[in-house]
């Protein structure tokens, strides 16, 4: 695991360069995207580079990590809406080649089809991840088996609490989500994970230096051959 400690601004710039590099070699790359606060600066940087003509998403296919159960893509807190608003509508991407798990069809068949579609596309070249305060990646909460593929999960109270800032009240935060599994994530050829802010300091330390255990889902990344972990100064407080 390669660890890069830098300012938020530089993290967005450096991570964006990984995409420039990949897409210059492989314009039809398969990208795994994440939502939440963490990737926003990176998405801003990708939009800027696209406007400057330094990167094109014209031929890429994307797969997002997760979606809230019960929200359709027009709901302003759905992850489909997030991606459309923060990235897809602002770059030269073909939206028909962007995939977000369905929050409405939670059947096991549809979940399995998501993994199959990733495989059929040739596998994810770069999977982007944030990290939950409890170590979740995607919405794989503590205790999720490392061998899991895309599936429906019940969100923990701590995750619902952390995400209530986007909703009118905690009662409006969905109780379930559909997420790529840990195996799905680990199958990606490269992984970029970003942690920003003081609240992530403890989990960053556990993820990098703690035991590899389903109790800390992100710790599984210690076993992946190509991970870049971008950490801002605050989130790196306990590992410096």
Q: So which residues are the catalytic ones?
A: 66, 134, 136, 141
Please state the closest distance from residue 18 (CB atom) to ligand F6R, in A.
Answer: 17
**Which listed residue (103, 130, 135, 217) binds ligand F6R by CB under 6 A?**
130
CA distance 221 to 227: 7
- Beta bridge partners of residue 5, listed in sequence order: 231
Please state the closest distance from residue 180 (CB atom) to ligand F6R, in A.
Answer: 8
**Which listed residue (12, 15, 29, 65) binds ligand F6R by CB under 6 A?**
65
Decide if residue 37 touches ligand F6R (CB under 6 A): yes
Decide if residue 107 touches ligand F6R (CB under 6 A): no
**Which listed residue (8, 23, 30, 35) binds ligand F6R by CB under 6 A?**
35
Torsion of CA 103, 41, 230, 127, to 10 degrees: 40
CA angle 187-125-43, nearest 5°?
A: 115
Please state the closest distance from residue 194 (CB atom) to ligand F6R, in A.
Answer: 8
DSSP secondary structure, 192-204, as one string: EEEE-SGGGHHHH
Decide if residue 220 touches ligand F6R (CB under 6 A): no
Contact yes or no for 138/179 (Cβ under 8 A) = yes
CA angle 214-215-216, nearest 5°?
A: 85
The footprint of ligand F6R (CB under 6 A) covers 34-38, 65-66, 130-132, 136-139
């Amino acid at each position: 695991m390669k660890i890069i400690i830098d300012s938020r601004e530089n993290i967005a710039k450096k991570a964006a360069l990984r995409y420039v590099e990949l897409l210059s070699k492989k314009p039809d790359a398969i990208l795994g995207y994440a939502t939440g606060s963490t990737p926003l600066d990176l998405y801003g940087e990708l939009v800027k580079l696209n406007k400057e003509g330094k990167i094109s998403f014209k031929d890429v296919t994307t797969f997002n990590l997760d979606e809230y159960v019960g929200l359709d893509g027009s709901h302003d807190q759905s992850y489909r809406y997030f991606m459309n608003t923060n990235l897809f509508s602002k770059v030269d991407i073909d939206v028909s080649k962007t995939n977000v798990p369905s929050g409405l069809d939670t059947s096991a068949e549809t979940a399995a089809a998501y993994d199959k579609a990733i495989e059929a596309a040739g596998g994810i070249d770069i999977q982007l991840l944030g990290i939950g305060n409890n170590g979740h990646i995607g919405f794989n909460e503590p205790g999720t088996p490392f061998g899991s593929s895309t599936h429906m999960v019940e969100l923990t109270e701590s995750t619902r609490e952390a995400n209530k800032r986007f909703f009118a009240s905690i009662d409006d935060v969905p109780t379930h989500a559909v997420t790529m599994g840990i195996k799905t994530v680990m199958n990606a050829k490269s992984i970029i994970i970003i942690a920003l802010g003081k609240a992530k300091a403890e989990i960053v330390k556990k993820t990098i230096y703690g035991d590899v255990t389903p109790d800390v889902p992100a710790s599984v990344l210690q076993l992946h051959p190509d991970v870049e972990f971008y950490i801002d100064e605050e989130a790196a407080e306990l590992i410096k």
